[in-house]
Structure 1
Amino acid sequence: MRCPWRSLIAMQLDIPTTETQYNKNGDPTGEKDLTVDAIKQEILDNCPKGYRFAYGEDTLLILPEAKRLTTSIRYWLEDMISAGARVVCFAVANPGRDIFLEMLEIELELPSDAHIRLVMAAEAQRQGLEISKSKLAELQPLAGRNPMLARKIIRNEKLGLKQDKPEHTQYVVIMPVIIAMLFSFAVVRFIGMGTGNKGLYITGGVCLVSAMALKQLGNVRGARKRLGQ
């Protein structure tokens, strides 16, 4: 049984992934692939003991999708860390279990709007889509600062799909601020009552009713699940 990603790690570290095969008489007949457990043990035995990448840097394992790591892989990485190897895992959110509880957490900055536009322009070129800078500026808010969404939006644009709703949540909801401001203006109603000023009384009453109406409208929620879920 082969384990492609472990074999790839072994090859990058110049660790052999095969062993000599012998016949019944003990004579070598060729080579055979190491088993999954054998490759794991070979990397574990040799990686922290002097194997280096180019330019003499210490061994560093980079895993881009930490949330997709299986339990067996995480246990193996725990042994690697204990043996002295350096491991870097990337994830949208910290899974918060086993090895991730012991690892240092560093939050990276979100890509800038300019970088997202560069990603969209590169994807458009790869898709063979002619797109202007003004169109990129129009589509960029739909992706927020997510490069994956940026590429998806360009693919949708090539297919001619209508895109008018952002698929991200990188925005600020200002409804509570508006409601708070209207409630604060409702104080004017009581000032109008005390001074006998009908204008202030009416203005404060309108603000109070508007704030209460917006508060109720803000509680309206649609279906949380899509059809078929």
Structure 2
Amino acid sequence: MGVDTTEDKLNPDGEIVGERKLTLEELKEAIASQASNDLIFILPEAKRLPAGIRYWLQDLMADGLKLCLFAITNPSRDIFLETLEIELSPPSDRDIRERMRQEAQRLGISIDEKRLAKLQPLAGQNPTLARKVLRAEALGLNPENPEHKQYLDISPIAISGIMALSIVRFIGMGTGDRGLYIVGGCALIIGMMLKQLGRVRGSRRRLGQ
């Protein structure tokens, strides 16, 4: 758009003595004055915008300005309620491998298809991690553990299933069946033990400490 973020600073005699930065409100007015229907505002981190900016953009939308907002999830508030939601498909494995080939070419390293197939799962479907894995490969660090979290943690389901067996404890109490009572009690205790063990975390120290 070519909106100036500064303006001339004048002394009482009207002479230019320097520049001053526009205030936020003045910058908003400058942008709004040049906004038209043939412009599109692209905002990569729309969720991080302050509420005041979002409401200002909402007013510009009412005047016909087009917006393209990117967010991992739809907050379903203010300006997001007035936009159409389009879900973008994640990159495929082929796209990630192609990104890794480009990064290898940029770094000047030679990598064969076999090694590429071994490194690709470490990045999952994240192009940024794909570049990071190749940089580690170029340094000879040989990364082995994946850094992404594209998997389903079924441990809560397993623990809930074990604890659900404790129902038979009450059935055993009602029917007088000692076997059901013992099995249900053991299932309840095992489920509670697994739940507590799942909360165990190792020490997390920052680098340099």
**TM-score, normalized by the shorter chain, greater than 0.5:** yes
Q: Secondary structure at the match of 2:35?
A: helix
Q: Does 1:166 align with 2:146?
A: yes
Alignment-mate amino acid for residue 159 of structure 1:
L
Contact (CA 8 Å) 1:19, 1:32: kept in 2 or not? yes
Residue of structure 2 equivalent to 1:114? 94
Residues 164 and 15 from structure 1, CA distance in 2 versus in 1: closer, same or farther, beyond 3 angstroms? closer
Displacement of 1:109 after TM fit?
0.9
Please state whether the residue corresponding to 2:150 is helix, strand or coil. Answer: coil
5 Å-filtered alignment, 1:35-114, equals 35-36=22-23, 37-48=25-36, 58-114=38-94
Selected match of 1:32 from 19, 37, 50: 19
* 1:18/1:32 contact within 8 Å kept: yes
Change (3 A) 1:129 1:68: farther
How far the C-alpha of 1:133 sits from its partner, in A, is 1.9
Give 1:129's aligned residue: 109
Deviation per CA, 1:98-120: give whole Å up to 9, x if none: 32233221100111111111111
Shift of 1:78: 2.2
Distance verdict in 2 for CA 1:101–1:167, change over 3 Å: farther
CA 77–29 in structure 1, closer or farther in 2 if over 3 Å, else same: same
Aligned counterpart for 2:136 among listed residues 152, 156, 161: 156
For residues 29 and 172 of structure 1, the distance between their equivalents in structure 2, rounded to whole angstroms, comes to 64
Q: Is the 8 A contact 2:10 2:16 kept in 1?
A: yes
Quick one: percent identity of the two aligned structures?
45
Distance 2:34 2:134 in 1: 45
CA pair 174-42 structure 1, distance change in 2 beyond 3 A: closer
Q: CA RMSD in A?
A: 3.4
- AA in 2 matched with 1:99: I
CA apart distance, 1:38: 1.2
Which 5+ residue runs of structure 2 have no aligned equivalent? 158-186
Q: Match for 2:128: what amino acid? A: M
Q: Could you tell me the TM-score, scaled by structure 2's length?
A: 0.65
Q: Say whether 1:147 aligns with 2:127.
A: yes
In structure 1, the gaps of 5 or more residues are 1-12, 51-57, 177-211
Aligned mates of 1:63, 1:25 — CA distance in 2: 42
Task: Give the whole-Å Cα distance in 2 for the aligned partners of 1:161 and 1:97.
Answer: 45
Contact preservation (8 Å) 1:18, 1:31: no
Q: Distance in 1 between matches of 2:10 and 2:52?
A: 31
Does the 8 Å CA contact 1:67/1:95 hold for their aligned counterparts? Answer: yes
